[in-house]
Structure 1
Amino acid sequence: MLLQHRVSWSAHGGTWGIPGGAIDAGETPLTGAIRECHEEAGVPQLDGSDIRIIHTHVIDMEGWSYTTVVARTLAHLEEYINDIESVELRWVPLSEVTEYPLHPGFAAAWPKLRGVLEG
């Protein structure tokens, strides 16, 4: 699992989560997720042939929603810090994710997401 250590000045700064953010006008959650991963973690802007979408997890916040896109890469992936929102990026075994101080939203979603990844 690629985790992002969030900068201290961000919402829930100092916690670990996954790259993400708001989608742009006209973007789908999938294209927004791919763009955000590129912007925050240097993940190449892969086309659909380079990733396999496993699951999408949607939280409805009454007026807006948050979609987590769970995907596997089909090729080796080199991440690097690509903006000021990341202190560190780290590949973490699924069994060790909860050893990190997690962003509250990610922590709440983690049991379901882990089940998807292990399923």
Structure 2
Amino acid sequence: MLHDGNGWSAGPGDTRCWGRFGAAGLLIITPGRTALMQHRAEWTSFPLTWGVPGGACDSHESPEATALRETAEETGLREHQLRILDAQVTTGPYVADPNRPELAGGWQYHTVYALAEEELQTFPNEESLELRWVPLADVASLNLLPAFAESWPEVRAHAEKLLEQA
């Protein structure tokens, strides 16, 4: 069902996580070692921070399908322009909301890695203040979404490894 994943779930320490069935984002990297970063709009959760395009998983979607759908909505980039390289859980699992038995497996965030052969032109929607191609070495200097900042060393190392294998 389209958009049945929209909604909040329980996270650690009484925090809330967006996505009833978890969430996924797409880290798009290029052979030139740049990544597409999204400056989040003021009305989004964790406003004015940088992260990657992504959002709530619908009940029927894989993390890869979620990341590609959300990226198309938020950047205008389409699946045929990208090559999926890998996906991994980078946040969670968190204890599921006890009032929502459908979340018994816990909440997880998946980072999906994709290769673009070059820095592609993007078309941001209202969720972005800006979309920018950033050298991997410079991503940590941005005001990152807190969970993304925490996972960035691991995510970057994995992206570098995938680029070597691509």
Instruction: Normalising by structure 2, report the TM-score.
Output: 0.64
Match of 2:122 in 1: 79
Name the count of aligned residue pairs: 116
Q: Deviation string for 1:8-47 (max 9, x for gaps)?
A: 1211100100011001221111101100111111111x15
Structure 2 CA distance for aligned equivalents of residues 55 and 115 of structure 1: 14
Q: 1:2 aligns with which of 33, 36, 50?
A: 36
Q: Percent same amino acid at aligned positions?
A: 40
In structure 2, what is the equivalent of residue 65 of structure 1? 108
Distance 1:58 1:73 in 2: 21
1:19 and 1:50, CA in 2 relative to 1: closer, same or farther beyond 3 A? Answer: closer
> Normalising by structure 1, what TM-score?
0.87
1:56 maps to 2:99: no
Question: Partner amino acid for 1:25?
Answer: S
RMSD over aligned CA atoms reads 1.8
Provide the C-alpha distance between the structure 2 equivalents of 1:34 and 1:24, rounded to a whole number of angstroms: 12
Displaced runs of 4 or more, over 6 A: none
2:67 aligned partner: 33
Structure 2, unmatched stretches of 5+, are: 1-34, 96-105, 162-166
* Alignment-derived partner of residue 115 in structure 1: 157
Q: Tell me if structure 2 keeps the 8 A contact 1:50–1:75.
A: no
Residue type matched to 1:84 in 2?
E
DSSP 3-state at the match of 1:92: strand
Question: Which has the bigger relative contact order, CA under 8 A and spacing at least 6?
Answer: 1
Higher strand share: 2
**CA distance in 2 between partners of 1:106 and 1:19 (Å):** 12
Task: Tell me the CA shift for residue 98 of structure 1.
Answer: 1.2
SS at match of 2:54: coil
Structure number with larger C-alpha Rg? 2
2:131 maps to which of 89, 94, 97: 89
Q: Is the 8 A contact 2:85 2:114 kept in 1?
A: yes
After superposition, the Cα gap between the structure-2 partners of 1:50 and 1:93, relative to the gap in structure 1 and judged at 3 Å, is: closer
